[in-house]
Amino acid sequence: MDRYRVGFLILMLFLSLSVCGDEKIAPNDVQETFSDTALFSVKINPISNFKGEDIPNDAGQSIGLSWEVSDDKSVNFYKILRSENPDGPFNPIVQLTSKFRRYNDRDDIKDKKDYYYKIIVMDNEVGAIESDVYGPYKSYAQWFNKKRGIVLFLALLFGFFILYYMKKAKKDPNMFIRRISGLDALDDAVGRSTEMGKPIMYILGIGEITDLPTLAGLNILGDVAEKAFEYGSSIRVPCYDPVVMTTAQEVVKQSAYAAGRPDAFNKSDIMYITKDQFGYAAGCDGMMMREEPGAIFLQGTFYAEALILAETGHSVGAIQIAGTTMTHQLPFFIAACDYTLIGEEMLAASAYLSKDPDMVGTIKGEDAGKLIILLFILIMVLMGTLGYIFHISPIIEIFNAILALFTQG
């Protein structure tokens, strides 16, 4: 009896082990497990602290955008969208790489108008992640660029010196201006040409009426023509531009009246040659070879034709006075001409010749302003050099502060 009981217990134990070994997890339990895992793997938008503001110190029509990214390792790129309504539609304006944290939107922005933005982050793991709508942001135009206050200061400084010296020049008509040898030789050149019985040739170059060297050349032409009429000589003015020709005719005509010789003015002496650069140079060279002028003035805008004209004038034995602001042509004039007005000497010629108080005051005021700037540069160089060589902290701080005023704009 005991043997049967023991055998029955062993059989029941075997059956219970078999049932437990064949038991499996139900399909519903599997789905619940995976759904919980997926819920925790959803990635939130990495964009944070998004800001939009009007860009300061500009002419408007621009909005500056900036943002931070919590995790940019998986970010592929950003796509910025804009709309005039918070509910859309949003249109893409730019696509940026993951390194960007700032963007200035200048794409058809209108001032004082609301704009809304949102960013789509293209993530390598999840895909497109769309941000919230940010805004509204507006753009405004500023009247004054605060970063360029130093420019206003320099303008006021120059203006003060100019007004001061203009007032002073009216009290003292003989105010000193540095001697310009080329302009002092003007009388000698006109007188030499008159003594030789030869005409004077005045070449204004290939500039147009809007060019400063051409305008300066026309001012000098007035004084040269007046001297020529006083001495009873004739003047030829071959022109490159028709408008310059018309202006030159009026200038020479006024000079003839100023000299009391209106009958000496001949309109055909101021003629149009051609609008072609080297055609004009060839025409002027031909006149030089035929008429052999006693004095040649080269005053205006010159390029590659400068040396051609100067060499031909030298070959006919004329005294030549040149002047231009084109620095790359000055070496040729210096080599081939008797006198050369360098750069600003030509622009200051009208004040030098006429002694007009307003013109003289302007020249003196500009020179005073330049002197102040040169002294300032010298002081800054000494401060920077001594401060950094001897490690003087106060001087270095002052130097950097002043330097920042000129570099921040």
- Co-location of 181 and 131 in the same domain: no
Q: Residue 154: pLDDT above 90?
A: no
For residues 69 and 168, the model is more confident at 168
The range of the structural domain enclosing residue 70 comes to 47-137
What pLDDT score was predicted for residue 113?
A: 92
Whether residue 133 is found in the same domain as residue 187? no
Q: How confident is the model at residue 8 (pLDDT cuts 50, 70, 90)?
A: low
Please identify, among 85, 111, 137, the residue that sits at the C-terminal boundary of a domain: 137
Give the end of a domain, one of 137, 167, 200. Answer: 137
- The pLDDT, as a whole number, for residue 256 is 95
Decide if pLDDT at 135 tops 90.
no
Which one has a higher pLDDT value, 22 or 320?
A: 320
Residues 6+ apart with CB under 8 A from 373: 154
Is 200 part of any domain? yes
Q: What are phi and psi of 134, to 5 degrees?
A: -115, 140
Residue matched to tokens 């007005």: 341
Domain count, the chain: 2
Quick one: 197 and 259 in the same domain? yes
Average model confidence (pLDDT) across the chain: 85
Summarize the confidence of residues 185-213 as an average pLDDT.
Answer: 93
- The CATH number assigned to the domain holding 133 equals 2.60.40.10
Q: In the chain, what percentage of residues exceed pLDDT 90? A: 58
Name which of 340, 341, 283 is nearest 312 in CA terms: 283
Strands 75-83 and 91-97: antiparallel
Same domain membership, residue 187 and residue 116? no
**Confidence class for position 132, pLDDT limits 50, 70, 90:** confident
pLDDT per residue over 243-283, tens digit each?
999 999 999 999 999 999 999 999 999 999 999 999 999 99
Range of lowest pLDDT (5-9, 96-100, 158-162, 240-244) = 5-9
Q: Please check whether residue 362 lies inside any domain of the structure.
A: no
Question: 262 and 126, same structural domain?
Answer: no
Tell me the mean pLDDT in the region 392-405.
91
- Which pLDDT band holds residue 14 (cuts at 50, 70, 90)? low
**How far is residue 207's CA from residue 210's CA, in Å, rounded to a whole number?**
8
**pLDDT tens digits, 358-372:** 888 888 998 999 999
pLDDT exceeds 80 at position 18:
no
**pLDDT value at residue 40:** 35
Say which CATH number the domain at 232 has. 3.40.50.720
8 A C-beta contact, residue 130 and residue 45? yes
Residue 19 — pLDDT band, cuts 50, 70, 90?
very low
User: Do 182 and 120 share a structural domain?
Assistant: no
Residue 199 sits in the same domain as residue 330: yes
- Shared-domain flag, residues 117 and 203: no
For the chain, give me the number of helices (H) and strands (E)? 14, 14
- One DSSP character per residue, 78-131 reads EEEEEESSTT---EEEEEEETT--EEEE-SS--TT--EEEEEEEEETTTEEEE-
